[in-house]
Structure 1
Amino acid sequence: MMSLSEIGMLIFVGYLGLMVLIGIICARYQKNMDSFWVAGRNIGLPIMIMAMMASVMHGGAILSGVALAAKDGGVAILPFISMALGTLIVLVYFAEKLRLMAGYTLPDYMGERFNSRFLRGYSALIVALSSIIYLIAQVRVMGFVLQQLLGVSFTTGLLLGTAIFVFYVTFGGFLAVVWTDVAQFWFMWLGLLVLVPGLYHLVGGWSDVLAKVERVAPGWTSPTGVSWSWTYLVSWYVVWLVAYATRVELVTKIYAARDVNVARFALPLNVAMIILFLLYGNFYLGAAARVLVWDRISSPDQAFPVLVTTTVGPFLAALALTGIISAGMSTTSSLLIIAGASIAHDLLRKCYYEPHGVFKSEKFYLRISRITILIVGVAAFLGAVRTPELILVLVSYAVAVLGVTFFFPLLFGLKSKRVSREAAIASAVGGSVVTGIWIILNLMKVPWATQLHPALPGLAVAFLFIVVLTRYTKPVPRACLAKFFPEEARLVSSVSAE
């Protein structure tokens, strides 16, 4: 009988071949910036739903989601409410105007809406740096899983995973990201569903597993779990709500939708599928891991791989672990394309070259984008070698900085014409700097700082700045508002006609 590593090698080689093939095929269609960064703005509803879900449900969401649920219990339910409300904000406030804007990135929005090269450039750097942190977490997921699946060293697993997604994104662009997301969507579901019969036999259904886990870990089924305070729990709810409302890999896909209706209808359907996925993929599996394997692991992030290898045979275990690799790659590929576009389009093209009267070809910016993708991939690999064990904490820091930077300029900037350049800059910079300082204090284990997630004080500062400065500064010129407010567009058109 073949071993797990032998079966895993066969399945992984097949998966690898599919990803490379998609990258090569999609590379034939990469002729300009629209095709490379937003797939020609031609993604339909079914493909958009699958691509959105695959990019949001990253490997860390499964691997560390199971780890968090197994370790702390009821707090693992927090993504459900936060994700639903955060995505509702995107649906109601962001989707239509961002799609009509026809931009490429969130820094694109910041620069256009607030008429600020500084804000565009600052946002681009935040996206690139946060993407590296985020990618470190995803690369570690792939390293853990490939180590278990192929029997290779952790570092070799990191190198293999990084090389694959950097290859198909560099050559295939956003079209490759979307179609690999679709393939990874099915791998993710298959990878989790193959565990159902074995787990049901061992721990039973929902009521059975909850009763068993409460006996081995009293308090596990409570909202605060076995160790969290209400203060920290609420802060995490707020952080993840803001995170889902500003998830660059989710929001940026709106630019690629065929039309406004696709952008809007994909969001609620995406939420429904993710909630079903998380109920089983985090909560149920976390409870099962606490009951079955908790005393056999040295790190919470080992919970899922060990649960898989002890629950099912080698072939199904290889499928399940490949599903987690798929989840990790679907998010990493989205982040890579976003980081490349932010540096090439926002930082170099819009902040440096064109303001100085230098106009480069689209091929030049696509080359810069590809070079950025390579650099970010290498940086993520190097950073993944030594990072904190609980991957979800690392991810939360990245989404905290992103969320604080973009949340209020997006929310207020798309609803009110009064929000000024100065208010948006102060909100984005002030909030992200405070969040960064608080992250450092958390890493230093300063007692009073660890009572709140770093995003909370950052959000408070960002909100204060944007509200106060909006009252005392002038709005941006009407021409800048025309892209986002139809009534302003009509006024600008009538003035031009006169």
Structure 2
Amino acid sequence: MLNWILLGVSAAILIGLSLYSMRAAGDKEESGFLVANNSLGPFVAAATLIATGYSGFVFIGSPGVAYEYGSLELFANVFYTPAFLIATLFFANFLRRKATSLGSRTMPEYIAQTHAGGRAGRWLQGVTAIIIVLLLSVFLISQVKAIGLLVSSWLGVSTTTGALLITLLVIGYTMFGGLRAVAWTDALMVLGMVLGSCVIAYVVFVQVGLGELIGRLDAQNPELANPTTGAPYGDSTASAFLLLPYAFLWAAALPFMSVRFLAIKQGVSMARVGIWVAVLGLALNFTPLAGLYAKAYFPALESPDMAMPTFLEHGVGPLMSSVMTLFILFAMKSTANSLMHTVSTALSYDLRSALGKQEGFTTTMTFNRLMVLAVGIGAFVGMAYLPPVMILWLGILGNGTLMASLFGVSLCSTFWQGNALGAFTSIAAGFGVSAYLLLGTDLGWVQGPLYGCLASAACYVGVSLATRRAARASTPVPERS
């Protein structure tokens, strides 16, 4: 009963914030739904960035990896904070200024406007939107699966029922308030996430003791306490360092992360945003400890992804377990709502723009909201038919491949401007290389997307240069009279 009450109260608050944010949007344009009317202040901007980045994969997937592979995950998880900080300080300002000058409301629109106009630009916007829909839908399915696993034990319902219940809640507050509602609810949810992470640290460092935990892990398998390989990120323990560039590219190239930079209010200091990013991010780095605790005391779990639910059942008292589960649910919902918003925007705005269809405000806003509903229900149906895979791997498959696909056209174009053909080739190369390495080889999880980024960059620069030379060579030189 307590858990149902907690869920009901939090649902009412989130829906209330969504409705209030919808009224606060003020003007009669899509910009309120798409980029929150560029109104986010430093704390809300940092909170929504961190809440989205530190999602279900950190609270469910990362403890699962620590349970399966050992303490290296605790070290690897630390690199997300400096990566997000670097993206905020050195990439966000450029993206925000340029997008404002172009009038870009979404990342596919920004990519199209910076590379081509007319029909070629619409094609590029449409292709980018399709790639986003395909790959972020994979990541969204992993989030819905993680939600179902957590809620099933929390509320005493089946995984499918729990996933459906929370999916409908997320659809409800996302479809009315758009990105403004997503950002404001994220700001509330990230505070609970931070408290949950600190409770995990307290249990491990104070109640259990780090020495006892390491001793139990070492007695089972010395590789758990002192890994000699970088699994699952690579063969060497140094492979964990790859998470720094990976997480930076995640924040800079993934549309559901970088769109938050477009929504920051003009005049807001990125240094102030960066301070909040660092504070909130560092406080969320304790979550893999829950996986090590579960491994030390419950080494025969059916699935590694059950590590966090096991910690909540046995590591803390019933009341704290209920509250922490709500906070972890916040983490999952914060990413789920961002993914729903980004995918539905790609369907309702970017594909509509690519097709040259423009309607009135009432029609477009209704269509935007219907797309949120369709995306959410589609993710739930996809979760029902999901084969048994680790949630973190599924998230990397969707996120990493999208990151590789858009690396050239989003990040490389910041330093060197290519053309439309280079952009199309770059997207295809990044998608193909990352998807093949993740699905068809045993390469480390992070290495596949990073190689995809290299392929994307090489094709972006190489094809753009080659086609420019070919265009100059084919242009006739006027004869002198």
Aligned twin of 2:479:
none
Residue among 337, 340, 343 paired with 2:347: 343
Structure 1 CA distance, aligned partners of 2:223 and 2:414? 43
Equivalent residue runs for 1:241-390 within 5 Å: 241-259=248-266, 261-263=268-270, 265-267=272-274, 269-278=276-285, 280-282=286-288, 284-295=289-300, 297-349=301-353, 351-353=354-356, 359-385=358-384, 386-390=386-390
Q: Quick check: 1:59 aligned with 2:56?
A: yes
Residue among 76, 79, 82 paired with 1:78: 76
Aligned twin of 1:414:
414
Aligned twin of 2:36:
39
Among all aligned residue pairs of Structure 1 and Structure 2, give the percentage whose two residues are the same amino acid: 21
Structure 2 CA distance, aligned partners of 1:82 and 1:171? 31
Structure 1 pair 215–307 and aligned structure 2 pair: CA distance change class (3 A): same
Q: Quick check: 1:97 aligned with 2:95?
A: yes
Aligned twin of 1:481:
none
Q: Quick check: 1:215 aligned with 2:226?
A: no
Structure 2: which 5+ runs fail to align?
470-481
Aligned twin of 1:484:
none
Structure 1: which 5+ runs fail to align?
1-5, 476-498
1:91 Cα offset (Å)? 3.0
Aligned twin of 2:464:
470
Structure 1 CA distance, aligned partners of 2:347 and 2:93? 23
- Residues 362-386 of structure 1 show CA distances to partners (whole Å, capped at 9, x for unaligned) of 3322222212211111111011122
Structure 1 pair 217–245 and aligned structure 2 pair: CA distance change class (3 A): farther
Structure 1 pair 359–248 and aligned structure 2 pair: CA distance change class (3 A): closer
Structure 2 CA distance, aligned partners of 1:455 and 1:393? 12
Structure 1 pair 223–78 and aligned structure 2 pair: CA distance change class (3 A): farther
Structure 1 pair 209–240 and aligned structure 2 pair: CA distance change class (3 A): same
1:232 Cα offset (Å)? 9.4
Structure 2 CA distance, aligned partners of 1:24 and 1:47? 17
1:331 Cα offset (Å)? 0.8
Aligned twin of 2:109:
108
1:45 maps to a residue whose letter is: P
Structure 1 pair 227–43 and aligned structure 2 pair: CA distance change class (3 A): closer
Structure 2 CA distance, aligned partners of 1:380 and 1:320? 25
2:428 maps to a residue whose letter is: V
Q: Secondary structure at the match of 1:8?
A: helix
Aligned twin of 2:3:
8
Structure 1 pair 263–377 and aligned structure 2 pair: CA distance change class (3 A): farther
Equivalent residue runs for 1:431-450 within 5 Å: 431-442=430-441
Equivalent residue runs for 1:149-228 within 5 Å: 149-200=154-205, 202-205=207-210, 208-222=212-226, 224=228, 227-228=231-232
Aligned twin of 2:473:
none
Aligned twin of 1:49:
46
1:94 Cα offset (Å)? 4.3
CA RMSD of aligned residues (A): 2.6
Structure 2 CA distance, aligned partners of 1:168 and 1:451? 33
1:452 Cα offset (Å)? 8.0
- Residues 128-160 of structure 1 show CA distances to partners (whole Å, capped at 9, x for unaligned) of 222211111111111111111110111100100
Determine if contact 1:146/1:154 at 8 Å carries over to the other structure. Answer: yes
- Residues 160-190 of structure 1 show CA distances to partners (whole Å, capped at 9, x for unaligned) of 0100000110112112111111121122123
Structure 2 CA distance, aligned partners of 1:82 and 1:24? 32
Structure 1 pair 227–17 and aligned structure 2 pair: CA distance change class (3 A): same
Structure 1 pair 308–405 and aligned structure 2 pair: CA distance change class (3 A): same
Determine if contact 2:154/2:322 at 8 Å carries over to the other structure. Answer: yes
Structure 2 CA distance, aligned partners of 1:141 and 1:338? 19
Determine if contact 2:44/2:187 at 8 Å carries over to the other structure. Answer: yes
Structure 2 CA distance, aligned partners of 1:469 and 1:268? 39
Tell me the TM-score normalised to structure 1 length: 0.84
Determine if contact 1:49/1:267 at 8 Å carries over to the other structure. Answer: yes
Aligned residue pairs, count: 455
1:67 Cα offset (Å)? 0.8
1:336 Cα offset (Å)? 1.4
Structure 1 CA distance, aligned partners of 2:50 and 2:174? 18
Q: Secondary structure at the match of 1:230?
A: coil
Aligned twin of 2:478:
none
Determine if contact 1:66/1:303 at 8 Å carries over to the other structure. Answer: yes
1:251 maps to a residue whose letter is: S
1:105 maps to a residue whose letter is: T
Tell me the TM-score normalised to structure 2 length: 0.87
* Residue range with higher mean Cα deviation, 358-367 or 405-414: 358-367
Structure 1 CA distance, aligned partners of 2:90 and 2:227? 29
Determine if contact 1:231/1:451 at 8 Å carries over to the other structure. Answer: no
1:224 Cα offset (Å)? 4.9
1:269 Cα offset (Å)? 3.4
2:11 maps to a residue whose letter is: L
1:32 Cα offset (Å)? 2.0
Determine if contact 1:192/1:323 at 8 Å carries over to the other structure. Answer: no
Structure 2 CA distance, aligned partners of 1:451 and 1:249? 21
1:352 Cα offset (Å)? 0.9
Determine if contact 2:71/2:292 at 8 Å carries over to the other structure. Answer: no
